[in-house]
A and B are shown apart, each in its own frame.
Chain A
Amino acid sequence: MTAPYNPPAPAAPLVMEARNLVKKYGSVIAMNGADFELRPGEILAVIGDNGAGKSSLIKALSGATIPDSGEMFLDGQQIAFRSPIDARRNGIETVYQDLAVAPAMTIAENLFLGREILKPGPLGRLFRLLDKKKMHDEATRHMQGLQFAIKSMRQPVETLSGGQRQGVAVARSAAFARHVVIMDEPTAALGVREGNMVLDLIRKVRDSGLPVILISHNMPHVFEVADRIHVHRMGKRAAILDPKRISMADTVSVMTGAIRPEDLSADMLAG
């Protein structure tokens, strides 16, 4: 099921890039010259201790905060997002940690929340009348494409298990992302089986061609799905590791500073 990841040639253009991002909150330096690179079609895990500045980095990339200085690029074009809506317009979808779904509303409604399909013609334009059938059909088709087993798209999200709910959030981002999917701790609140279900879904998103940025504390999960691991430490990128060539224990040591990246053998680093 997991298509083998073929690292693109180093010359392949980066999907997202950030250089030297700085963000200060008073005297606290959340980002201290952070760099970032995302390649086409990869799952890039971002790991780091609490307070390392992962969320700050991700918020800058998703438009939720504006960095004090530094540069960001999308497909080589310089970008400056002022809001999450800006990022979304550029095809970047974010799955937020705290389940951004409306529980009493149906799966189809949640998938299309904020960008509903309207009836064609003046009924849609003037009266903002919903094309419920089309929304339902497209939701069904999309969920089937992700092999997401759910009986009815008319089910309220609150009738789903935690994993299925997170699945809806992941599916929504996959449905609308044209460039990048960002996920902040998507498996943190889930049990083993449900976590695996969401990991599966993340792989399917990647296999559909979208690169995924995955913030996670869960090392087994990271090692299971990540193509490369971005280690964040003290406000900047400490190293990019190759999960096929480095152990979990060494990765944690880099993350906590017990091993300096310079002391790793070169083949543990991802290009």
Chain B
Amino acid sequence: MTQPAPASTAPPPRRFQLPSLSTLGPLIALLIAVIVFSSQSPRFFSGTNFSLILQQISYTAVLAIGQTLIILIAGIDLSIGIVMALGGLVMAKLATQSGLNPLLAIGAGFLTTMFFGFLNSQIITRLRVPPFIATLGMLGIVTALNQTYSGSQTLSNLPPALTALGNTFKIGGTAITYGTVLMLVLYLIAWFVLSETAPGRHVYAVGNNPEAARLSGIPINRLTVTVYTVAGLLYGIAALILVARTGVGDPNAGQTDNLDSITAVVLGGTSLFGGRGNVLGTLLGAIIVGVFRNGLQLIGIASVYQSLITGILIIAAVALDQVSRRKG
């Protein structure tokens, strides 16, 4: 016969929805960074510079939407930057060397990045390879593919359709690129879908408790495939924004974006264990990374240290999150 278990006392209900340490921390870090950089460089605090920061982060921020979706279902994508680079190469090469209609070239680029997202999902759901390994393998494969496909050459002289997102319009004297606007719109769409639609909630459920999701009749594999494929589409859009910004298809693009996108997600308070987080937090995370990069550059700190700061930021963010969770 079973022993009665010791009476467990109900934990006191948590105080409601106070911004946790993990969302407050990054905001404070951002605030301090803005104050410090403003005092060190007269060029930092200006509409033009803020617009530049948004433009600089725009493609990474779009990648980070995809990374957020994937991390929410307790996955990870380490092939994110390299697949984006491939998308850019396909667009640039088809539009220049093959003379394809630029819009078709862009479409082919989107299909390429979606295909690799889809391929990742197939390796994960069918072959049961953990996402970390599946996408690490894909990183190696696509890196080689990029070099062979482009002959290690940068592709330039792109038609205007490929660089249109780099064009600007003015709001009160400050020039803003269409790429920046597209990035912000994509964040709003992602936020809306995640919080207001059934598939969006299923993303959280699958990351939160996959067994509960399965027993509730949520098709986990189908959702996984959808998430990685949609992420792939976002990599394609990021590729177009990047190509528009730089004016070239670059086989060496995207190499820091695994770290940068994960940093943005984590700084934004999304748990690497899945099921918790907010995509708008990721935007905040991407902005923090961008502000640090930009500010350090303006006050004349060498770029090696920028990568050092990003490294410290990501570790600090996760450590802070763990500490706040233990207390909570």
Chain A residues at the B interface, C-beta cutoff of 8 Å: 84-85, 88, 94, 96, 98-105, 109, 113-116, 118, 127-130, 132, 151, 155, 159-164, 188-195, 217-219, 252
Contacts and interface: CB of A to CB of B under 8 A. Distances in A.
Nearest to B1: A219
A219 B197 CA distance: 44
Contacts of A103: 208-209
A110 to B, nearest CB: 8
B199 A128 contact: yes
B197 A130 contact: yes
A118 B205 contact: no
Interface residues of B, number: 31
B1 A252 contact: yes
B197 A101 contact: no
B198 A102 contact: no
Nearest to B206: A102
A128 B198 contact: yes
Contact of B4 (A99, A151, A192): A192
A177 B1 CA distance: 31
A116 B201 contact: yes
Contacts of B197: 127-130
A200 B217 CA distance: 28
Contacts of A104: 204, 208, 275-276
Contacts of A219: 1-2
B98 interface: no
B13 A101 contact: no
Nearest to B217: A114
Q: Which of B1, B5, B13 has the most CB of A within 10 A?
A: B5
Contact of A102 (B1, B11, B204): B204
Contacts of B213: 102, 113-114
Chain B interface SS verdict (over half): loop
Nearest to A190: B5
B223 to A, nearest CB: 11
Contact of A100 (B1, B5, B7, B212): B212
Q: Nearest 3 A-B pairs (CB), nearest first?
A: A114-B216, A161-B10, A191-B7
Given A161-B9, A190-B8, 18 more contacts: A84-B215, A85-B217, A99-B212, A103-B209, A104-B204, A105-B204, A109-B201, A113-B212, A115-B217, A130-B196, A160-B10, A161-B8, A162-B8, A188-B2, A189-B5, A192-B4, A192-B5, A218-B1
A143 B77 CA distance: 40
Nearest to A185: B2
A159 B2 contact: no
Nearest to A106: B201
Interface in B93-117: none
Q: Which of B7, B13, B201 has the most CB of A within 10 A?
A: B201
Q: Which of B2, B14, B198 has the most CB of A within 10 A?
A: B198
B266 to A, nearest CB: 17
A132 B217 CA distance: 20
A189 B5 CA distance: 8
Nearest to A95: B215
Given A85-B217, A105-B204, A162-B8, A130 B212 contact: no
Interface in B200-224: 201-202, 204-205, 208-209, 211-213, 215-218
Nearest to A156: B14
Interface of B: 1-2, 4-11, 13-14, 196-199, 201-202, 204-205, 208-209, 211-213, 215-218, 275-276
A102 B8 contact: no
Contacts of B205: 102, 105, 109, 113-114
A193 B209 CA distance: 26
Given A88-B217, A114-B213, A130-B196, A151 B13 contact: yes
Q: Which of A102, A130, A218 has the most CB of B within 10 A?
A: A102
A127 B200 CA distance: 11
Nearest to B14: A159
A35 B218 CA distance: 32
Given A88-B217, A96-B215, A104-B208, A194 B1 contact: no
A255 B1 CA distance: 11
A85 B198 CA distance: 18
Given A113-B218, A130-B196, A159-B13, A100 B209 contact: yes
17 contacts: A100-B212, A102-B213, A104-B275, A105-B208, A109-B205, A114-B205, A114-B217, A114-B218, A129-B196, A132-B196, A155-B13, A159-B11, A159-B14, A163-B8, A191-B5, A194-B8, A195-B4
A253 to B, nearest CB: 12
Contacts of A109: 201, 205
A187 to B, nearest CB: 9
A155 B201 CA distance: 15
Nearest to A159: B14
B216 A100 contact: yes
A178 to B, nearest CB: 16
A102 B13 contact: no
A151 B10 CA distance: 14
A114 B201 CA distance: 9
Contacts of B201: 105, 109, 113, 116, 130
B7 A193 contact: yes
Contacts of A151: 13
